[in-house]
Amino acid sequence: MTETAFESITILVMCMAAGFIARKGKVLKAQDMPGLTSLTLNITLPALLIMSMQREFEMEAFRGSLLVMALMVVIHIFVLAMGLGIVKLMKVEGAQKAVFLLALLFANTGFMGIPLTYAMYGQEAMLYTAVANSIMNTLVPTVGIAILLGAGGHSKINVKSILLNKIILSTLIGFMLFVFSIQIPELLGNGLRMIGGATTPLSMIIIGSMLAENELKGMFSGWRIYVVATFRLLVFPLIAFFVLSRIIKDQMAVTVLTTLTAMPVAAIIAILAAEHNKEPQLASKIVFITTILSIFTIPLLVTVVG
């Protein structure tokens, strides 16, 4: 498994490197990124999620998926409680406190989590990955925005945008097809599968391009960022593994939840910080550093958890 994780991450890093080089070489420009991101979030990722749940209904898998969703909520509650204590000890206030708390709370379960679990564990892991990711996509525009509002923002939570979120909708569609054992016609399914297959390289290229936006000078400074990185990349996933492996028997659920918890800080944190003008440079630095460090911590974690 360690070798598989290393190979999978190496391939993903190659895709990120391609995005980084493309952005630095002006092949990809700033104005190209919204279109690529929209294409991934609204077309390829929904196709991947729907097709990932194309399987015959099994009561065990159904119960497991409900358990995974419940555990994902519990994990976020635990991390939020821990995060409040961590930011207090780091003695940060205002917008910085909000950004650090968001960084501790939200992992990149979408752009990195979905492609990585698919590459490492295959189709079998995607049902659990999809339903777990739906929790994240519900919490970011609700709890995430609320945390930013607590830092003095004036934006409102858009409930309609949450309910119409393409990722949540596609997860719901795929899950319903699974529950009722509805198989998509072969020709349409093959097309959707091919479209969904573009998600992994596209998402990694986008992340690589985002990393290229940061100036390297001063990018690695700031001790608080490394405190956040240590908890986000190592402490939280290790706690998740040791607790979950002792209370549930579904090994795939343990594996998926541990892997998703080990992801770096979600790129959406930097986007939200920029949108609300709440320390966007700090948020960008945290995403950058944790993404780079995860190249080393994820294989290490896979080695530890076996």
Q: What is the CATH number of the domain that holds 277?
A: 1.20.1530.20
Determine, yes or no, domain membership for 258: yes
Alpha helices by DSSP H, 25-55: 33-39, 45-52
How many domains, the chain?
A: 1
Give per-residue burial for 25-45: e unless 16+ CB within 10 Å, then b.
eeebeeeebeebbeebbebbb
Determine, yes or no, domain membership for 305: no
Determine, yes or no, domain membership for 304: no
Query: What is the sign, positive or negative, of the torsion defined by CA atoms of 104, 279, 147, 40?
Result: negative
Residue 7 confidence (pLDDT) above 80? no
Residue 213 confidence (pLDDT) above 80? no
- pLDDT score recorded for residue 143: 86
Q: What is the C-alpha separation between 264 and 243, in angstroms, rounded? A: 21
Q: Which amino acid is at 198?
A: A
Asked if 118 contacts 43 with a C-beta cutoff of 8 angstroms, the reply is no
- pLDDT score recorded for residue 118: 81
Domain of residue 171 covers 2-299
22 or 57, greater pLDDT:
22
Structure token pair of residue 249: 């028997």
Residue 32 confidence (pLDDT) above 70? yes
Determine, yes or no, domain membership for 120: yes
- pLDDT score recorded for residue 280: 79
Residue 235 confidence (pLDDT) above 90? yes
- pLDDT score recorded for residue 162: 61
Determine, yes or no, domain membership for 78: yes
CB atoms within 10 A of CB 76: 19
Determine, yes or no, domain membership for 179: yes
Residue 106 confidence (pLDDT) above 70? yes
- pLDDT score recorded for residue 115: 79
Determine, yes or no, domain membership for 276: yes
Determine, yes or no, domain membership for 306: no
Number of helices (H), then strands (E), belonging to the chain: the values are 17, 0
